[in-house]
Chain A
Amino acid sequence: AQRVTQPEKLLSVFKGAPVELKCNYSYSGSPELFWYVQYSRQRLQLLLRHISRESIKGFTADLNKGETSFHLKKPFAQEEDSAMYYCALGRAHAGKSTFGDGTTLTVKP
């Protein structure tokens, strides 16, 4: 069975501090991992996906198959990063995406 765990419901950091949002998954096959973000009064949107291996808005995430993790990191948080972040696990050739319950990130000035 697919499962995604985001252990922190709430995360608060000061502007300029590093931030790491944790995501662990369980899946027996070859996973596709995503981070989605929802800013205030906006719809859910893709932030980044592991296969693209790119940095978006200063965020990066590395897939660690040994630890079954896909943590999201940013070295210097900005106030505009305050949002709800969801980690999601997808599968090639099958429709289901499994989402974690999300982490609300607050970046304080």
Chain B
Amino acid sequence: ETGVTQSPTHLIKTRGQQVTLRCSSQSGHNTVSWYQQALGQGPQFIFQYYREEENGRGNFPPRFSGLQFPNYSSELNVNALELDDSALYLCASSFSSGGGTGELFFGEGSRLTVL
């Protein structure tokens, strides 16, 4: 059984640039959630994708967008990067029959630094 994998593991961008983070969900899972974790804080919910549709969104501006593909992998895109976007971005996959929460299986994260 393959776990959740994320890429890249680390990246550095400058303010105003755009970034794409990728996530491969665990085998058998149909739901992907993205979280932002700033230093010293818990993961903050960005959004979730279920059956390729956005299924819930946290308090993040529209410049945070995502996609889920037919194989249930997912991308997180962030446009017009700001310094405060520097954080660890976590992807979590799960299986849901109705788009609910369920047990989350996390990747190791992508560490984004914005200069």
Contact = CB atoms under 8 A, between A and B. Distances in A.
Interface in B95-115: 98-109
Contacts of A97: 33, 45, 101, 104
Nearest to A44: B106
Given A44-B106, A90-B100, A95 B47 contact: yes
Contacts of A95: 31, 33, 45, 47-48, 50, 55-56, 99-101
Interface stretch (A58-66, A70-78, A99-107): A99-107
A102 B102 contact: no
A32 B108 CA distance: 24
B90 interface: yes
A41 to B, nearest CB: 10
Give the interface size class of chain A: 20 to 34
A46 B41 CA distance: 18
Nearest to B38: A101
B99 A46 contact: no
A76 B105 CA distance: 28
Nearest to A100: B42
Interface of B: 31, 33, 35, 40-45, 47-48, 50, 55-56, 58, 90, 92, 98-109
